[in-house]
Amino acid sequence: MAPKHRYANLDSIDTNKTIKDMFRWQKERKNNKKDLSILIDQAPEKEIERLTTNRSAASITWIGHSTFLIQMNGLNMITDPVWAKRMAFQNRLTEPGIPLSDLPPIDIVFISHGHYDHLDFPTIRCIKGNPTYFVPVGLGRSFKLRGYKKVIESDWYDSFVYDELIFSFVPAQHWTKRTLTDTNTSRWGGWIIESEQHSIYFVGDTGYFRGFQEIAEKFTIQTVLMPIGAYEPEWFMKESHLNPEDAIKAFVELNGTTFIPMHYGTYHLADDTGPESIARLDAEWDRLALAQSSLKKLLIGETLWLA
């Protein structure tokens, strides 16, 4: 049997950690208990009925973690759909912003990579509609074995025209693993969705890397869905996850117009908490004197309507 192809990061940046590193982290975690009772707020009013019937306006709704409902050109699209109540040994900290059963029929599903907090097949089985799945190269087989036929695999900088939209898969600095033997046998990355009026960059999961400058040279970015959580301890997480300060640095390099934070406050994947992530984000935003109108901290289930 031929050896499995293993994908790598730009500049061959290594995200592997040793057993010794894991034991060091777990020892630190025992001595560093965090208060998980302070949660990210739910939106007081949710526009489920309007979202269900919307076929014209562009919108972005945060479901939680890296899951967004995006509506453009009459299409319902969703990123990394995960409604799971647990992740590993941890309960979900917040309810999803919209119940899975209340979603409109989905046309497009974007997957950034194969980690369980970004790809949850029990959730996918319950999605309404008959969506096309845009997935990283190497993940298509996992979908097709489960009976999904409308699956398009993508490598970095592959682009697709779909109903007057352009979807492009772009690099990230990360890794992936679902079983004991499939480490990095599929790609990881982010998705850029472009229409004549709007461009949305769903960054996926990443550490800070020079790819942001490269992406800025190739695309005009308006709205950036940017991860800011799961960064502590930083000696362990730095290569794979952005801290809030590096997330802002990346946003500035992208020349984006709107920053929407994600990947915080839903699952306790690392040693930071949602409120800590937001506090550091706000402090760095103020330190750099960036426009407050460009920072859109969505509540769980809140919708941003794009003018």
Number of domains in the chain: 1
Residue at 5 is within a domain: no
Q: What is the pLDDT of residue 105?
A: 97
Distance CA(199)–CA(185), nearest Å, equals 29
If you average pLDDT over every residue of the chain, what do you get? 95
Residue at 209 is within a domain: yes
Contacts of 75 (CB under 8 A, 6+ apart): 107, 108, 163, 165
pLDDT at 52 over 80: yes
Distance CA(12)–CA(76), nearest Å, equals 36
Residue at 125 is within a domain: yes
| pLDDT above 90: percentage of residues in the chain | 92
Mean pLDDT of 212-224: 98
pLDDT at 2 over 80: no
Coil vs helix vs strand at 292: helix
| pLDDT above 70: percentage of residues in the chain | 99
Q: Given pLDDT bands bounded at 50, 70 and 90, which one contains residue 99?
A: very high
Which domain, by its residues, includes 151? 47-306
Distance CA(79)–CA(73), nearest Å, equals 16
Q: What Cα–Cα distance (Å) separates residue 88 from each residue in 38, 49, 231? A: 21, 33, 18
List the Cα angle 98/139/268 in 5-degree steps.
45
Task: Report which of residues 188 and 39 the model is more confident about.
Answer: 188
pTM of the model: 0.96
Other Cβ atoms less than 10 A from the Cβ of 9: the count is 21
Mean pLDDT of 199-216: 98
Over residues 240-258, the pLDDT tens digits come to 999 999 999 999 999 999 9
List the Cα angle 69/73/76 in 5-degree steps.
30
Distance CA(108)–CA(163), nearest Å, equals 11
Over residues 121-153, the pLDDT tens digits come to 999 999 999 999 999 999 999 999 999 999 999
Over residues 173-183, the pLDDT tens digits come to 999 999 999 99
Residue 116, token pair as written in the block: 């369980």
Residue at 139 is within a domain: yes
Over residues 77-93, the pLDDT tens digits come to 999 999 999 998 889 99
- Residue at token pair 């695309």: 219
Phi, psi (deg, nearest 5) at residue 270: -140, -155
Contacts of 267 (CB under 8 A, 6+ apart): 65, 87, 90, 92, 93, 117
Q: What is the pLDDT of residue 273?
A: 94
Contacts of 7 (CB under 8 A, 6+ apart): 138, 184, 185, 186, 187, 188
List the Cα angle 151/300/266 in 5-degree steps.
75
Residue at 28 is within a domain: no
Complete DSSP assignment for 220-263: ---EEEEE-----SHHHHTTTS--HHHHHHHHHHHT-SEEEEES
CATH number of the domain encompassing residue 83: 3.60.15.10
Residue at 244 is within a domain: yes
Residue at 22 is within a domain: no
Coil vs helix vs strand at 163: coil
Over residues 254-270, the pLDDT tens digits come to 999 999 999 999 999 99
- Residue 208 is which amino acid? Y
Residue 49, token pair as written in the block: 């009925």
Q: Given pLDDT bands bounded at 50, 70 and 90, which one contains residue 3?
A: low
Of 117, 122, 157, 120, whose CA–CA distance to 136 is shortest? 157
Residue at 1 is within a domain: no
